Homo-oligomer: A and B are copies of this chain.
């Protein structure tokens, strides 16, 4: 490509609404252009990167025997009603009516359509397994779109759907996709981690997220440096630590005026936060059979003062699937006390105590006295209060917690979710009656998996991981161009022009994706553009060097240039590109 025939548009300053570095740099490098909230035009420089992402994804999906098709953007409401997602998805699902008043969804994903395709195409177990994918525009009407391509409304996703005859087949298809994803992210040249994830509302039997590691990532990833254990924060199990010591102190009701938070109590009493217990009051309201509100049950969750609640885990405790936080009125009624001083000792009404595993192993702890401005110190299970009715994992793990696989302690890093593989099971095939006939001629629901990669999101994640003060640093496999040729005086020096054109032709012939900057910019402006855009390899062609038989190579992360003999430069670059 010649720069004079391409469209390059760089900015010195990012627009003020670009909050994170990837958004700022993509705007400054002219890769995207805002059309509306969360809606971007992919400019030529950005589209080149998207196409590289797509090509790698497509190649590895094909290698993994997935078959590409293309499902429509505009999908009839009827299919979404079959699975109940028309109602469940809420405002995020963009809905549209045609001229006849018929309702449609603009696809945020395509489970319904692919299941509809498959239920009419698949008759027999002999046609299985099958895995269909497409790379298609998606729309999700996010409440608060932001961060450029990281949380847009219109975006590109690769979504694949596998169909198997039984659980073992589905798990095999899942493994094939997991391995393909590992190859894809490896080929992207990004540091990434696959973590076990919670299955969430979709149900199913297993799922993993693929995260690009970046300190700015919004997700906490839990892993064990000594084993292959890895999970996201929602799913990482916090084991019980140690065993409960014997009581050592006496129970004392202590005045703790205005110390409603564990931090304040610990400070006031001059003790560690980890000696305190945090109390959370929950209500579970049973729905009456006639749809009216029914009986209320009250639960008291106990966490160590320095630990964080994990809402997902709470929802999995038997009886707590439909919990909510108790209202202040409920708390006053049940505990006879304002929030901030609750505790398991001496509640007014019957309450089910649910203690985190760590709390169940504590002794001589500090807890609210169910009386404003008072706490107990030296509290002990069994002696001062009944053993907790339920002991469960309620908290987020922290660095240093034991790894659930018993092979060391946990570490935490930040990540950006860019892929998700999911064992769906029969959730969709049952609601949509997608069955096949097995060897005995009996109809059975298809076992499904689904597998997504956020194609446009990859760009943001790659930049969050790879940038410096000058701009983006693309991995070679994702860069809009692998190599930029920067001639010094292309329009003034015959020698420079001739050698540049020769090198351009030779690089193209060698299969290198090369751009020559023939715009006639001053060197400073030219270099600044390409450093901002983030092309990983640069060769400067100048008269002085040419007379000595050299060109100057500089990698995007290099601090200085390296002279390379003219005759060797193509092989040299080819070696760099293939690294």
Contacts and interface: CB of A to CB of B under 8 A. Distances in A.
A38 to B, nearest CB: 9
A506 interface: no
Given A44-B67, A68-B47, A35 B76 contact: yes
Contact of A137 (B5, B73, B98): B73
A214 interface: no
A371 to B, nearest CB: 46
Interface string A31-43: 0010110011111
Nearest to A48: B68
B69 A42 contact: yes
Interface in A71-100: 71-76, 91-92, 94-96, 98-99
Contacts of A96: 94-96, 106
A154 B69 contact: no
B43 A98 contact: no
B39 A72 contact: yes
Interface string A107-151: 000000100110011000000001010000101010100000000
A7 B132 contact: yes
Interface string A250-289: 0000000000000000000000000000000000000000
Interface string A518-561: 00000000000000000000000000000000000000000000
A201 interface: no
Contacts of A40: 72
A75 B92 CA distance: 17
Contacts of A6: 67
Contact of A75 (B35, B70, B99, B116): B35
A76 B41 CA distance: 12
A9 interface: yes
A28 interface: no
B74 A39 contact: yes
Given A7-B132, A121-B9, A72 B141 contact: no
Interface string A20-57: 00000000000001011001111110010010000000
A154 B106 contact: no
Given A41-B72, A141-B99, A154-B73, A5 B65 contact: yes
